[in-house]
Amino acid sequence: MSRLIFDSNGELWFTRAEELGLDYISMPYYIDGQEYYYDLGKATDFRKFYDLVRAGNVPKTQALNPEDYKKFLTPYFEKGEDILYVSFSHKLSGTFQSLDLALKELKERFPERKCTVFNSNSISLGAGIQAEEAAKLWNKGASDEEILSFLQTFTDRVCVYFTVDDLMHLKRGGRCSGLAAVAGTVLGLKPMLTIGADGGLTVLAKISGRKKAIRTLAEKVAAELADEECSVYVVDADCPAEGDWLRDLILEKRPNAKVVRQIVGPVIGSHCGPGTLGVIFVGEKRPIPLEK
């Protein structure tokens, strides 16, 4: 059985990761001229980050380089441990090219060791919930093969829906054209986005008005939640009152749901911006996108 890891773009809270025995690769972000590595909330100054963004500072993210990956992975291999890595979507970052290079070099030093990478084809807690459920099996002594077999089916049931408050953040990330961003802002349109089966970001609908968008998120959970034993994550990017309202709307419709509230971390927040709200839960199948 390998050592199970994930990365901080999976956004499980650090206490939950520690409880499950999950190690993680910290992903970097830059703001106000400084580099940080997200630590799943352990010592993150969320207030400072979102205040800087609201004040006009533009955060950036960057792929890790091969040396970063080698530094993280080498201690496991030196101890004779293999690795099973539940990663965030490979379609959303070039960082996995660096991981491949690092693993090729490490294979020369540790030919008997292996690192198996499972692409969750998701982001934020869409990836984190897969690592969480895999860790439950890992702690019960499941083999790598059993965990991978579970994940290959489970990944297609992880539903991620979110809405952003300011389309200009998506424009900077190349997810929305400048004209569409300006027009959407003027018209008050709030796109509902999801992560498709290929791990890419897609638009499901364009909703008029913030309150309607929040109610629609709640309705999605109420209609599609298929496993109440798994957590329903309600995440917010520095809009906690609205996040709490969304949680309450969900519990009105699905009172037995295990709703977990959490703030969006700075890496994901760099792309979606303050005011983003999202829900992550286990349904029957992932949503089918309407457009790319």
What local confidence, expressed as pLDDT, does residue 46 receive?
98
Residue pair 235/264 in contact (Cβ under 8 Å)? The answer is yes
Phi first, then psi, for residue 242 (nearest 5°) are -70, -35
HSE-up (13 A, CA, CB side) for residue 115: 26
User: 166 and 235, same structural domain?
Assistant: yes
What local confidence, expressed as pLDDT, does residue 167 receive?
61
Domain count of the chain?
Answer: 2
Asked which of 124, 155, 186 is the last residue of a domain, the reply is: 155
Residues spanned by the domain of 249: 157-282
Q: For residues 16, 134, 27 and 88, what is the CA-based torsion angle, rounded to 10 degrees? A: -130
User: 37 and 82, same structural domain?
Assistant: yes
Q: How far is Cα 213 from Cα 75, in angstroms, rounded to an integer?
A: 46
Asked which of 102, 135, 155 is the last residue of a domain, the reply is: 155
- CATH number at 75 reads 3.40.50.10170
User: 146 and 8, same structural domain?
Assistant: yes
User: 11 and 141, same structural domain?
Assistant: yes
Q: How far is Cα 271 from Cα 167, in angstroms, rounded to an integer?
A: 10
User: 142 and 186, same structural domain?
Assistant: no
Going from the C-alpha of 157 to that of each of 117, 227, 234, the distances in angstroms are 19, 10, 17
Two tokens, residue 76: 């496991």
Among residues 78, 111, 117, the alpha carbon closest in space to that of 97 is found at: 117
Question: Which amino acid is residue 226, in one-letter code?
Answer: A
What local confidence, expressed as pLDDT, does residue 182 receive?
33
Q: How far is Cα 237 from Cα 210, in angstroms, rounded to an integer?
A: 14
What local confidence, expressed as pLDDT, does residue 157 receive?
97
Residue pair 225/287 in contact (Cβ under 8 Å)? The answer is no
Q: How far is Cα 227 from Cα 121, in angstroms, rounded to an integer?
A: 20
Does residue 197 sit within a domain?
yes
Give the residue carrying structure tokens 């999202």: 278
Asked which of 90, 123, 155 is the last residue of a domain, the reply is: 155
User: 230 and 147, same structural domain?
Assistant: no
Burial of 215 (0-12, 13-18, 19+ CB in 10 A): middle
Going from the C-alpha of 270 to that of each of 214, 238, 259, the distances in angstroms are 21, 12, 25
Residue ranges with strand state E in 34-173: 34-37, 60-61, 83-87, 115-119, 158-163
User: 216 and 95, same structural domain?
Assistant: no
| pLDDT tens track, the chain, 292 positions | 799 999 999 999 999 999 999 999 999 999 999 999 999 999 999 999 999 999 999 999 999 999 999 999 999 999 999 999 999 999 999 999 999 999 999 999 999 999 999 999 999 999 999 999 999 999 999 999 999 999 999 999 999 999 998 765 554 544 443 333 333 443 467 788 999 889 988 888 889 899 999 999 999 999 999 999 999 999 999 999 999 999 999 999 999 999 999 999 999 999 999 999 999 999 999 986 554 4
User: 128 and 24, same structural domain?
Assistant: yes
CA 3 to chain centre: 21
pTM, full prediction: 0.92
Does residue 289 sit within a domain?
no
Q: How far is Cα 10 from Cα 222, in angstroms, rounded to an integer?
A: 24
